[in-house]
Amino acid sequence: MEQWIQVEPWIDQSKQQLDRLMEWVQRQPAAQFYATFAILFLSSIFFVLVRVLKRTKSNTIVLAGLSGSGKTILFYQLRDGSSHQGTVTSMDPNEGSFVLHSESEKGKIKPVHVVDVPGHYRLRPKLDEFLPQAAGLVFVVDALDFLPNCRAAAEYLYDILTKAAVVKRKIPLLIVCNKTDKVSAHSKDFIRKQLEKEIDKLRVSRTGASAADIADEFTLGVSGEPFVFSQCLNKVMLAESSGLTGEISQVEQFIREYVRC
Ligand SMILES: Nc1nc2c(ncn2[C@@H]2O[C@H](COP(=O)(O)OP(=O)(O)OP(=O)(O)O)[C@@H](O)[C@H]2O)c(=O)[nH]1
Ligand SMILES: [Mg+2]
C-alpha cells in the first residue's frame, strides 16, 4: 500500500504527459494543413506582388492610330515642347526615353519611354512588339478629318481592344481626338459615339464571319447590348489635343497617371 502511494503521483504525471503527447499528435495533421495553406497563401501573394511591381515599373507609353492622325507631332511635343512641323509618314517606330518637356523644369527626373508606331497598315504589326511592356496606350484620332476615317479607325481600335496583350494586362487606353485647334474639329463626345457605333457594327460582322477568318483573340463588349467603351475590361478614356499648338495637357496627365515619377 505504501509503495502504491509513492508511485501514484508518478503515474498521474505520466498520464498527463501522455495525454498532452496525444493531443499534440492529433494536432499534427491540422498543423501540416495550416502550414501548406500558409505557404500557398504567401507564394500567391508573392506572385501577385511581382506582377503588380512589374506592371507599375513599366514606363512605356505607346502611340498608335491611323496614318496622319498626328502621332509623330505629339511625340515631339512630349519630348521637345515643339511640333517640328513638316513631318512625313513614318516608316519606322519612333521611340525615345525622356523626361516630359513640360516637366523638365519642375525637377522631375523619371523618364518616360514613348514609342510612336507608324499608322501605315503594313507597319502596324510592330505594335505587338511594344504592347507587352506598355504601361499605357494612346490611340490618336484625327478629329478634323474624322468621318471619312471613322470606319478605319474603329477597325484598328477593334483590333487593339481584342488583343490578348491588351485585355490580359488591362492596358489603359486613351483615345486622343487630335487637331482640335481647328473649329471644324469634331468633339470627343461625337467621336466616342461614332466609334462605339462602328465598333458595334464590326462586332456583329466579325462574329458572323467564319471561325477561320477571325483573328481576334478576345470578344468585345456584352452580347445583346450595344457596344460602349465602358464594357471593355481595360480602362478606356477620351481626351482632346492639338499637337500643332502644343495643347497636350490631357495626354501628359494620362502618362503621369500610369507612369509615376
Ligand atoms: N491642324 C493640326 N494639324 C496637325 C496636328 N497634329 C498633326 N497635324 C498634321 O497632320 C499631319 C500628320 O502628322 P504626323 O504627326 O506626321 O502623323 P502620324 O500620325 O505620325 O502619321 P504616320 O507617321 O503616317 O502614322 C501633319 O501634316 C501635321 O502637320 C494638330 O494638332 N493640328
Ligand atoms: Mg508618324
Question: Residue 243 CA: which ligand 1 atom is closest?
Answer: 31
Residue with cell 500567391: 44
Residue 68 and residue 165 share a domain: yes
Check whether residue 17 and residue 66 sit in a common domain. Answer: no
Statement to judge: residues 28 and 116 lie in one domain? no
Residue 130 C-alpha to ligand 2 middle, in angstroms?
16
- CA 206, 212, 213, 218 torsion-angle sign: positive
Quick: pLDDT tens for 173-231: 999 999 999 999 999 999 999 999 999 999 888 766 545 455 556 788 888 899 999 99
Mean pLDDT of the chain: 87
Tell whether 156 is covered by a domain: yes
Please state the rounded mean pLDDT for residues 72-82.
94
pLDDT at 53: 65
Domain limits for position 37: 7-57
pLDDT of the residue at 7: 59
Q: In b/e form, how buried is each residue of 158-180, taking b as 16+ CB within 10 angstroms? A: bbbbbbebbbebebbbbbbbbbb
Residues 102 and 83 in one domain: yes
Question: Is the residue at 36 inside a domain?
Answer: yes
Mean pLDDT computed over 18-37: 76
120 Cα to the center of ligand 2, angstroms? 9
pLDDT classification of 103: cutoffs 50, 70, 90: confident
Query: Pocket residues for ligand 1 (CB within 6 Å)?
Result: 65, 67-73, 85, 87, 89-90, 118-120, 140, 178-179, 181-182, 242-244
In this structure, is residue 189 part of a structural domain?
yes
Ligand nearest to the CA of 85: 1
Judge if 70 and 40 occupy the same domain.
no
What pLDDT shows up at residue 226? 93
| Between residues 244 and 33, the one the model is more confident about | 244
What CATH number does residue 124 fall under? Answer: 3.40.50.300
Atom 32 in ligand 1: residue holding the nearest Cα: 179
Looking at the structure, do residues 127 and 175 belong to the same domain, yes or no? yes
25 Cα: distance to centroid of ligand 1 (angstroms)? 76
- pLDDT at residue 47, as a whole number: 85
Looking at the structure, do residues 52 and 128 belong to the same domain, yes or no? no
CB 153 within 8 A of CB 199: no
Whether pLDDT at 118 is above 60 = yes
Question: How far away, in angstroms, is 131 Cα from ligand 1 center?
Answer: 23
Statement to judge: residues 106 and 45 lie in one domain: no
Question: Does the pLDDT at position 39 exceed 70?
Answer: yes
Q: Enumerate residues 6+ apart whose C-beta is below 8 A from 156.
A: 64, 65, 66, 119, 124, 139
More confident residue, 143 or 208: 143
When divided into structural domains, the chain yields a total of 2
Asked if residue 2 belongs to a domain, the reply is no
Q: Which pLDDT does position 75 carry in this prediction? A: 96
- Ligand with minimal distance to 88 CA: 1
Q: Is residue 248 part of a domain?
A: yes
Check whether residue 47 and residue 80 sit in a common domain: no
One domain, residues 137 and 37: no
Which of 200, 199, 184 has the alpha carbon at shortest distance from 139? 199
Counting residues of the chain whose pLDDT is more than 70, the rounded percentage is: 88
The answer on 116 and 181 residing in a single domain is: yes
pLDDT of residue 253 exceeding 70: yes
Residue 255: how many CA atoms within 13 Å on its side-chain side? 30
Cα(72) to centroid of ligand 2, in Å?
Answer: 4
Instruction: Average the pLDDT over each of 5-14, 106-115, 131-140, 227-236 and give the range with the smallest value.
Output: 5-14
Residue 184 lies in a domain: yes
The pLDDT score that the predictor gives to residue 5 is 59
Is residue 166 assigned to a domain?
A: yes
pTM greater than 0.95: no
Q: Does residue 1 lie in a domain region?
A: no
Distance CA 148, CA 174 (A): 21
Q: Are residues 80 and 32 in the same domain?
A: no
Range among 2-16, 52-66, 149-163 with highest mean pLDDT value: 149-163
Residue where a domain terminates, one of 57, 79, 94: 57
